[in-house]
């Protein structure tokens, strides 16, 4: 576990350097250890490619509450009609259920909005990975003419005219309402949108009764077929890039009504300009996947079973039987977790 290695190395160093113990009390050591990330403390002991979502994550509650308010505030948009929650509805699995989201003036976007739940576990943000952090991601829609179509001077004027906002930002940030602070609050709220304790997580933590035998067989098939080579870790994905269409040309075979390949179908190529990055996308997380249709970067598919069938063909080079699709889908339905943050 990449998170646990620094802790292990630190503890090993403590045991080697006896002189340290003469200066630091056992209580102090315990207090230091208690501050390490919760992820390390909840790493499962079983040898599985997947890891359970931490049941508790240390966050700044005041920032979370402020970020929640900003996340739902349409004043971030030019015409005061679009908020972050418009495309990431927290009552709908963190998505809007549309093939492509709709921004100001009824404009349709070019990509399917991924869920905001568990986004803190993504190694990069956006389908093409162009944002390195949640803060960087949060800034993009504000400036996108198809989404919020605004800019920081407009946003700052509106928020600074709200006395309650002024007071709350000043309480947390010395310099009050500033772009970096707005993004910091939104990102902290988004970190609170984790969904632990799915039945699969319970299974990984040792509760063998949390999943049915049929669902367990789906998980075993998931591993046997190689799905776990891309969908692993805490998020069951979201930690690597992969080509969309490793086996066969998805666009030629499936999207007969799609016309020519659009720029947004080129994935990482639009970020790097490298030919080798064409059609590569961030592998999506499978967490809560039963709630987040439509699927794929362009919302091509509404049905989870069809998405599984197509992944088998184009990512594994295998025609899945109905029984295999049913087993895999049953497993995927165990990935729906429980929201653990502030009341929505």
Q: Return the active site residues.
A: 147
Say what the alpha-carbon torsion angle 93, 98, 104, 105 is, to the nearest 10 degrees. Answer: -150
Interatomic CA distance for residues 10 and 36, integer angstroms: 11
CB atoms within 10 A of CB 305: 15
Interatomic CA distance for residues 155 and 177, integer angstroms: 10
What letters, b where the CB count within 10 A reaches 16 and e where it falls short, cover 48-57? eebbbbbeeb
Say what the alpha-carbon torsion angle 223, 226, 227, 233 is, to the nearest 10 degrees. Answer: 70
Interatomic CA distance for residues 21 and 13, integer angstroms: 11
Strands (E), the chain: 241-243, 280-282
Q: What string of DSSP letters covers 174-233?
A: TT-S-HHHHHHHHHHHHHT------HHHHHHTT-TTSS-HHHHHHHHHHHHHTGGGTS-B
Interatomic CA distance for residues 334 and 326, integer angstroms: 13
Interatomic CA distance for residues 82 and 101, integer angstroms: 11
């Amino acid at each position: 576990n990449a998170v646990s290695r620094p802790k292990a190395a630190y503890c090993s160093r403590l045991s080697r350097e006896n002189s340290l113990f003469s200066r630091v009390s056992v209580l102090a050591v315990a207090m230091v250890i208690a501050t390490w990330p919760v992820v390390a403390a909840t790493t499962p002991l079983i040898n599985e490619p997947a890891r359970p979502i931490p049941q508790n994550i240390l966050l700044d509650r005041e920032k979370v509450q402020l970020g929640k308010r900003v996340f739902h505030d349409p004043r971030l948009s030019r015409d005061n009609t679009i908020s972050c929650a418009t495309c990431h509805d927290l009552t709908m699995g963190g998505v809007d259920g549309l093939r492509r989201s709709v921004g100001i003036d009824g404009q349709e976007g070019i990509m399917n909005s991924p869920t905001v739940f568990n986004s803190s576990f993504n190694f990069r943000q956006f389908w093409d990975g162009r944002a390195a952090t949640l803060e960087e991601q949060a800034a993009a829609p504000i400036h996108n003419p198809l989404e919020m179509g605004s800019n920081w001077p407009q946003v700052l004027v509106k928020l600074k005219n709200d006395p309650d906002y002024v007071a709350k930002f000043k309480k947390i940030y010395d310099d009050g309402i500033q772009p970096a602070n707005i993004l910091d609050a939104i990102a902290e709220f988004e970190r609170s949108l984790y969904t632990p304790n799915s039945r699969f997580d319970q299974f990984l933590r040792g509760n063998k009764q949390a999943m049915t035998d049929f669902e367990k067989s789906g998980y075993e098939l998931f591993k046997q077929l190689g799905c776990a080579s891309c969908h692993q870790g805490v998020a069951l994905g979201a930690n690597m890039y992969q080509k969309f269409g490793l086996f066969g040309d998805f666009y030629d075979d499936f999207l007969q009504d799609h016309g020519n390949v659009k720029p947004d179908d080129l994935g990482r190529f639009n970020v790097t300009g490298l030919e080798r990055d064409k059609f590569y996308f961030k592998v999506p997380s499978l967490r809560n996947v039963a709630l987040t249709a439509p699927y794929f970067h362009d919302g091509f598919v509404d049905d989870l079973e069809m998405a599984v069938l197509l992944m088998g063909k184009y990512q594994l080079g295998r025609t899945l039987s109905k029984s295999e699709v049913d087993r895999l889908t049953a497993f995927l339905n165990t990935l729906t977790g429980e929201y653990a943050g502030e009341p929505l």
